[in-house]
Structure 1
Amino acid sequence: MNIDTSTLHLQLPNLYIFRRVTQLGSFQATADALQLPRSSVSKRIAQLENQLGLRLLQRSTRQLNLTESGKELLAITDSLTELLSNTVKLTEQAHAKPSGPVRISSSTILGQRYLLPLLPRLKQRFPEIVPEINLDDRVINLIELGVDIALRVGELPDSSLVARRVGTKSWACFASPDYLKHAPKLEVPDDLASHQCLIFRHQKLAMDHWHFRSPNGEIQTLQISPSIATDDARTLVELACMGLGVIRVDPTLILPERAAEKLVPVLVQWQHTDAAPIHLVCLGKQARSRAVNEVWQFLCEHLTLALAELKDADGTSR
């Protein structure tokens, strides 16, 4: 007998009913369980047998018995139950609220000023998600440390991570009014040689080369001999507020200190040439949990808006 395999997939519902009949032991019990007429169950089994050209059940007035073909069909369709069970689980997970931990990494001051203010709104939208925030100015390997999402500054090396540009970081020089009262003149970059300068430095990076563009467009680079160096950006800002020297920092990161007049700009005619992209990076979509994916989408949207608003509020073009 030739079997039309092109329409065999249409027998999947009948295969399911066949398996339920063998589990429950009768057409009537199966009909009750599936809320179908008994005649429909009998008809479906007959359709399956006709399609396969096999007798699957021996019917009698009191019981049903599997034929040898029926036993073999039951054995080879065991995976159908697992397939349906996994489908149900997938549906349940898709409709459930996203939950569980999401590990987010950022440099200290970037995370403090941009990331942390978004957490109340994030928690309000996804109360079952548990953000685990790591603020660290060291360069870390996201995959090795199990970080799900990170906020990064600078060009990114090629990797398996997905990156979304959310803003741009720029720089300008600032000092406290108290420091400037007693400091030497500071009118051109070369004057920094007579000043206390505070720099960011850790084991893999020293930000001790400061670049300037003069009012006539010439580029000047100075190597800074620091009076204090630190590997924590928040500490750098605090040191400057204490009157310990000049810092080079993104103006938008110190809006509160500027508003309180704890820090004021210096060398305002000498723009800084450097600008670095700010990226949100994450594992590839296939490797993300639903919770990670929801946080990723949320941060991509809201960080882009927050960074743009801060740049507008800053009002500078550095």
Structure 2
Amino acid sequence: MDHLTSMAVFARVVEAQSFSSAARTLGLSKSAVSKHIGRLEDRLGARLLNRTTRRLSLTEMGEVYYRHCARILREAEEADLEVGRLQDEPRGTLRINAPMSFGLLHLAPCLPGFMEAHPHVRVEVSLDDRFVDVVEEGYDLVVRIGNLADSSLIARKLAESRTMIVATPAYWNAHGRPRHPRDLSRHNCLEYAYLSTRNEWRFRAADGGETLAVRISGTLNANNGQILCDAALAGTGVARLPAFIIGTDVAAGRLEAVLTEFAPPPVDIYAVYPHNRHLSAKVRAFIDHYVDWLRQRRQEMPFS
């Protein structure tokens, strides 16, 4: 790409009508400027400048070449300015991915306010409970829940949510309330397909000691938490779900939490985005807006 630098040097020489002036503008020595022009002429096999002790003038070939060089430099400057505007002012397309239930309940309501505040940003939202590859699939930002694997991605914690063991009061009345996690073995436990410890629910010991692992089984396995919540509300069985899905149902008495003294560890909720020294304005603006929105709703949100 060195010839592009030589093209820029050539254009500056023409505009300054002097090797010395161009050198000062570019922060180069006069000899370095002369070498750039010489290499360019050698590469093209044509003389671009007529040089005398008093003045410089363009050859016919030089006039044609200069027009192209000047256009290329203008486009490069416009590209720099456009990137600068994108960095300074949120604009362009913002691609977000989030888990289905969380996205519907706690992301979708935030979007209208963000778009109103930033009318030059077009938002594309994809809701999916599977683990997406942020970089390979071209997302600007994803919401992830739970432990994060080590990676080159940047993560900002948004909130945390309790995990609860729930069923309807009618289900507990019919099948008995467990007093210990081991008692879940005789219940119809509704399974989340993407749980890392599939067929196994983990709890904290009541005395704060080591983690308890309990094998569970049931008649429903789903890859979406809302499906499990709906099944639990219908009295089908027992669900292990985060409070951001079931908190309002627990508060309203539609679901009853048990084994609270053995509560599973809370899950963390993160905004995750690719590592980039120049974080784009649209991503930065959305994260700041979302954190403020979550903070304002903290009293309403059944996370903890």
2:22 corresponds to: none
Q: What amino acid is the match of 2:284?
A: Q
Larger gyration radius, structure 1 or structure 2? 1
Structure 2 residue 146 is matched with structure 1 residue 154: yes
Runs (5+) with no aligned partner, structure 2 = 1-8, 19-51
Instruction: Supply the distance in 2 between the matched residues of 1:225 and 1:189 (Cα, whole angstroms).
Output: 13
Change (3 A) 1:248 1:307: farther
Question: Residue 165 of structure 1 is aligned with which of 157, 160, 171?
Answer: 157
Instruction: Supply the distance in 1 between the matched residues of 2:302 and 2:95 (Cα, whole angstroms).
Output: 33
Instruction: Supply the distance in 2 between the matched residues of 1:206 and 1:212 (Cα, whole angstroms).
Output: 12
Question: Residue 247 of structure 2 is aligned with which of 249, 255, 269?
Answer: 255
1:298 corresponds to: 285
* TM-score normalised to structure 1 length: 0.67
* TM-score normalised to structure 2 length: 0.70
Question: Residue 238 of structure 2 is aligned with which of 241, 246, 252?
Answer: 246
C-alpha RMSD over aligned residues: 3.6
Structure 2 residue 263 is matched with structure 1 residue 271: yes
Runs (5+) with no aligned partner, structure 1 = 1-8, 20-51, 58-65
1:213 corresponds to: 204
Instruction: Supply the distance in 2 between the matched residues of 1:136 and 1:283 (Cα, whole angstroms).
Output: 19
Q: Are the equivalent residues in 2 in contact too, given 1:252–1:311 (CA < 8 A)?
A: no
2:72 corresponds to: 82
Offset of residue 177 of structure 1? 2.0
Instruction: Supply the distance in 2 between the matched residues of 1:259 and 1:316 (Cα, whole angstroms).
Output: 12
Change (3 A) 1:185 1:254: closer
**1:113-146 Cα shifts (integer Å, max 9, x gaps):** 2211211111111233222211111222233333
Taking the TM superposition and a 5 Å limit, the aligned residue runs for 1:1-318 are 12=12, 15-16=14-15, 53-57=53-57, 66=58, 68=59, 72=62, 75=65, 79-91=69-81, 94-95=84-85, 98-202=90-194, 205-219=196-210, 220-272=212-264, 274-285=265-276, 293-306=280-293
Offset of residue 286 of structure 1? 6.6
Offset of residue 200 of structure 1? 0.2
Change (3 A) 1:270 1:297: same
1:39 corresponds to: none
Change (3 A) 1:161 1:268: closer
Instruction: Supply the distance in 2 between the matched residues of 1:295 and 1:178 (Cα, whole angstroms).
Output: 48
Instruction: Supply the distance in 2 between the matched residues of 1:141 and 1:73 (Cα, whole angstroms).
Output: 50
Instruction: Supply the distance in 2 between the matched residues of 1:72 and 1:82 (Cα, whole angstroms).
Output: 15
Offset of residue 250 of structure 1? 1.6
Q: Are the equivalent residues in 1 in contact too, given 2:203–2:213 (CA < 8 A)?
A: yes
Change (3 A) 1:299 1:95: closer
